[in-house]
Amino acid sequence: MIRLRFFLYLLVLTLALFPVTAQASPPWEPSTALESAPAAPPTSRILVQYRRPLSRPESTGRVLSAAEVQGLSHRAGVALTYERSLGENWHVLRLPSPLSAEQTDELVHSLLDDPAVTAAEPDILLTTQLVPNDPYFYSQWNLTAPFGMNASTAWDMTTGSPSVPVAVIDTGSLPHQDLTGRLLPGYDFVSPDLDRDSQRGWDSDPSDPGTYGDGVYCSSSLPSSWHGIHVAGIFGASTNNNTGISGISWQNPILPVRALGICGTGYLSDIIAAMRWAGGLDVSGVPINPHPARVINLSLGGAGTCPIAFQSTIDELLARGVFTVAAAGNSSTDVAAFTPAGCQNIFTVAATDSYGYLASYSNYGNGVEISAPGSSILSLGNMGTTSPGGDSYSYKSGTSMATPHVSGAVALMLAVNPELTYNRILQIFQKRSTPFPTGSACANSRICGSGILNAGAAVDEAFQLYYLKIPNEFEPAYAGTAASLSSFLVRTYPVSATPEPVFTVSVGGQAATINRTTYRGTYWELEVTPPPWPNGLYDIQVTINGIPYSHEKAVMYGPQTFLPVISR
């Protein structure tokens, strides 16, 4: 009986290994394109300078009276708490809860209307400017260059979380000086006829024995790629250890899962089993994974539309809060005819070069969610041409290399906001990615996704969503399709409780019905019934006491579960 094979091939443009010491640093080009500026961290305090009393002009260290603090609270529209004097008539006051920089600016401007106030400003948070000490960090254009992923800004907020494992389903793992302490116990799902390790078949050792050619599935002259360790290193090489390169996540554990064997090929059924096990689902005959991943990296693929079994697995994992990130493919064609890139409910990643342009090899299309650096990416390697040898570092190119950048960014986002959903992450990518260069093929179309991954901006947005619950955000009171969408919530902030403001809300220029207004202590919550528009994207405008609110948003009516789309 002939066993039908469905192979998913490694997406690597070049598999040559070069020791770092023999390679020049990958160049990157200066550009006038601006990255999305990260927002200042939220703060829960403000600084106020009072005028010196005429009766005691030399008095600079007095404390404010309860009546003065009450007056400031009335001006601010929130209850302020006095902390201490700073001298020179400066005083520190605490807010009821942290506010974003934008909200704090509105509040301090309201305090300046008080004739007794000379100056008011946020008590801003200053942070370390985190740069790792790894010697090859400055050769990693993908982390820091103008069209890199802006990793350093993300690291100022988080370096990851040990409680959010990320699975790398690939050719397997190897010991490496730059992966010390980073790997969880994994598993091997390569079937015997594609396996050349000593145990032949599924087992608990995810080590990569080498993918060199056998003359059947690929040329016998093809050397081992060490693809899995290269991908894992991009995501999570040991960082700030004075060794080698820097990984994107410093703390998220790596779960190595081997599903690709000889020639870098693997059966669809084995890859599905690997995904299920990695995400904590049951796989017959295999012990349950004690460290289920929240993110699964698939730097692999093959021609063909998304198989039903594959899509079913993706959906089952997503229902458990496990996100799948997949390479777009290296065939310079539409991802719709590629698996798993053409599947739904995943993050499909195209590759860009150091100029910000779509890489010549990268697939593209409406199925791409986002692009990320994929050309000349420095990561971990091995000196062996067939079986494993000594540690090395190498440059590779491909959408395989772009994919772990997005997996790393999602892991960092989950570290600051574990409640993120697939749609919310996608929304953040749409809102906070770096624009493609003006005049590029990607700049005027959606075939390369929402933009180039900007991890710093994405992590900042995730942080604010979790810790500030993003006032001025539109959130659904009911999740459903356009036909059944009954209402959504509008939060406006800061506005005082008394006197109650007069609100109006319009959607797409047509008045919406305000069902209720509720003051929540630090913001007003409005439940709104929108007009019956067809599916589409519509601007929302809120007015407060006849004045248009400065934050214009948008709301999506569509065939999928309702989630807001923010536009600023």
**Catalytically annotated residues:** 170, 227, 400
Q: CA 146, CA 151: separation in Å to the nearest integer?
A: 11
Q: How many CA atoms lie within 13 A of 376 on its CB side?
A: 16
Give the phi and the psi of residue 229 in degrees, each rounded to 5: -75, -30
Q: How many CA atoms lie within 13 A of 500 on its CB side?
A: 11
Place of tokens 């356009």: 482
> What token pair was written down for 208?
């990569």
Q: CA 309, CA 314: separation in Å to the nearest integer?
A: 9
| Helices and strands per DSSP (H, E), number in the chain | 10, 25
> What token pair was written down for 347?
């993050």
* DSSP-H helix ranges across 145-199: 151-155
> What token pair was written down for 234?
């991009």
| Alpha-carbon dihedral angle through residues 133, 138, 143, 148, given to the nearest 10 degrees | 160
For the residues of 280-326, what is the DSSP string, one character each?
Answer: T---TTSPPPSS--SEEEE-EEEESSPPHHHHHHHHHHHHTT-EEEE
All residues at 6 or more sequence positions from 214 whose CB lies less than 8 Å from its CB, including other chains: 220, 262, 263
All residues at 6 or more sequence positions from 362 whose CB lies less than 8 Å from its CB, including other chains: 328, 329, 330, 332, 350, 351, 352, 371, 374, 399, 402
> What token pair was written down for 442?
């990607």
For the residues of 308-374, what is the DSSP string, one character each?
Answer: HHHHHHHHHHHHTT-EEEEE--SSSSBGGGEETTTSSSSEEEEEE-TTSSBPTT--BSTT--EEEE-
| Alpha-carbon dihedral angle through residues 306, 308, 309, 310, given to the nearest 10 degrees | 30
Give 21's DSSP letter: G
* Residue 235 contacts residue 168 (beta carbons within 8 Å): yes
> What token pair was written down for 407?
């997996």
> What token pair was written down for 85?
């004097």
Q: CA 106, CA 121: separation in Å to the nearest integer?
A: 10
Q: CA 298, CA 301: separation in Å to the nearest integer?
A: 8
